[in-house]
Amino acid sequence: MPAKHDINKIGVESSDFPILCETCLGPNPYVRMSKQEFGNECKICNRPFTVFRWNPGAGARYKKTEVCNTCAKIKGVCQTCLLDLEYGLPVQVRDAALGRKAQAPTSDINKQYYIQNLEAQMADSPDGQTFDSEVANRAGREMLKGLARSDPFYKRNRPHICSFFVKGDCKRGGECPFRHEIPKEGELSKQNMVDRYYGKNDPVAKKMLRESAESKGMKAPDDKSITTLLFLGLPQTTESEVRAALVAYCPFVKPIEIKSITIVEASHCAFINFKLRSLAERVAEALSAQGGIEVGGKKAKVVWGRSRPQKGKPATTAITDSSEASGSGTVAITSESA
Ligand SMILES: [Zn+2]
Ligand SMILES: [Zn+2]
Ligand SMILES: [Zn+2]
């Protein structure tokens, strides 16, 4: 099978050193590593790869590389923790802030094709990177810098929690190499490597994006029936222009199902009513991460709509905005929701 042979050939890594973030590497730059060729299957592309194993410092657990060099390079992530190398953030957060598309292969055959394709692209590009062909988004980068830790976070290298202790019967006591702590329950403990790699369904990323949006005054309204976002300060525009801008800014949200777009020309705003609340939330987070949305060459401000249900009448969506864009301090715009 020549194809198989080729795949394995690409899988052989010539690198003598893994791609690691500062945290995973640990404070000692001269750390001793054991190296095992074809030591394991890459968790992403399933090809055999060179596994490195090392102790990142006193009191830390041993760490090893989980994905191959190529897969790490493709996404610009650490081979062990899969966090972005530049910001130390989840791929999903980085991609939302930079408006990067999360392309994930759907089957095993697709997976191999996907990786090989990107490998070829990397070989063609001078700096060995496949992304950042998109215009660097300044607001997105600012956001990432704000979220990034400035120092390595060595606490992450601590031993795992002792499962026996959790069950209440660890007999090793002080000798136990694992942490004797009760783990924090919740969705954050259920992380999936493949999803984290491709930047989707990552609970940690979701939480970070939500909190970041909230810190910028984009807290999703408690009323879950609200599925409308408003774009403020628009130039003269069309519905298709608004749709195109949404697709460009949120390429990782697919499909963007919209119930209606209402453009109110006199107020330079548009009401975008999404089919699902969850979709409106994802778009709101992504747009807040990117500092708004550019429509027709102008950056518009994005805010949540507010519903004011009235007796006997269909619900209306209203917005009160106190930004300088409105001039008068406060504007109330009302539109019939479809
Ligand atoms: Zn791989
Ligand atoms: Zn790492
Ligand atoms: Zn224990």
pLDDT digits (tens, 9 = 90+) for 77-92: 999 999 999 999 999 9
Question: Would the pLDDT of 330 be above 60?
Answer: no
Q: How far is the CA of 126 from the centre of ligand 2 (A)?
A: 25
Report the pLDDT value the prediction gives residue 310, as an integer from 0 to 100.
Answer: 54
Question: What number is the average pLDDT over the span 304-329?
Answer: 52
Q: How far is the CA of 78 from the centre of ligand 1 (A)?
A: 12
Question: Would the pLDDT of 247 be above 70?
Answer: yes
**Ligand number nearest to the C-alpha of 179:** 3
- Distance of alpha carbon 167 from alpha carbon 178, whole angstroms: 13
Q: How far is the CA of 19 from the centre of ligand 2 (A)?
A: 8
User: Over the chain, what is the mean pLDDT?
Assistant: 80
List CB contacts of 187: < 8 A, sequence separation 6 or more.
203
Q: How far is the CA of 10 from the centre of ligand 1 (A)?
A: 10
Q: What are phi and psi of 215, to 5 degrees?
A: -70, -20
Ion ligand 2: residues, CB within 5 A, are 21, 24, 78, 80-81
Confidence of residue 265 (pLDDT cuts 50, 70, 90): very high
Q: How far is the CA of 197 from the centre of ligand 1 (A)?
A: 11
Give whole-number Cα distances, 182 to 162, 164, 178, 263, 338, in Å. 9, 11, 12, 52, 49
Q: What are phi and psi of 52, to 5 degrees?
A: -105, 145
Q: How far is the CA of 62 from the centre of ligand 3 (A)?
A: 16
Q: How far is the CA of 20 from the centre of ligand 2 (A)?
A: 5
Burial class (CB in 10 A: 0-12, 13-18, 19+), 234: buried
Looking at per-residue pLDDT, the higher value among 105 and 277 belongs to 277
- On whether the CB atoms of residues 62 and 53 are closer than 8 A, the answer is yes
Looking at per-residue pLDDT, the higher value among 255 and 8 belongs to 255
Q: How far is the CA of 161 from the centre of ligand 3 (A)?
A: 8
Encode pLDDT of 121-168 as tens digits: 777 665 544 444 344 467 788 788 888 887 888 888 999 889 899 888
Question: 108-128: b or e for each residue (b if 16 or more CB lie within 10 Å)?
Answer: eeebbebbbebbeeeeeeeee
Among 113-117, 156-160, 221-225, the range scoring the smallest mean pLDDT is 113-117
Looking at per-residue pLDDT, the higher value among 221 and 327 belongs to 221
Residue 306 pairs in a beta bridge with 318
Q: How far is the CA of 248 from the centre of ligand 1 (A)?
A: 28
**Ligand number nearest to the C-alpha of 19:** 2
Q: How far is the CA of 146 from the centre of ligand 2 (A)?
A: 19
- Please report, for the chain, the start and end positions of each structural domain, with discontinuous segments joined by +: 1-212, 216-336
| Cα radius of gyration (the chain) | 24
Question: What number is the average pLDDT over the span 277-298?
Answer: 89
Given this structure, which CATH class describes domain 216-336?
A: alpha beta
- Distance of alpha carbon 195 from alpha carbon 66, whole angstroms: 14
Alpha helices in the chain (DSSP H): 2-11, 22-25, 69-75, 91-98, 108-124, 138-147, 163-167, 193-198, 203-215, 239-249, 277-289
* Residue 115 DSSP label: H
Encode pLDDT of 171-200 as tens digits: 998 889 899 988 776 655 667 899 999 988
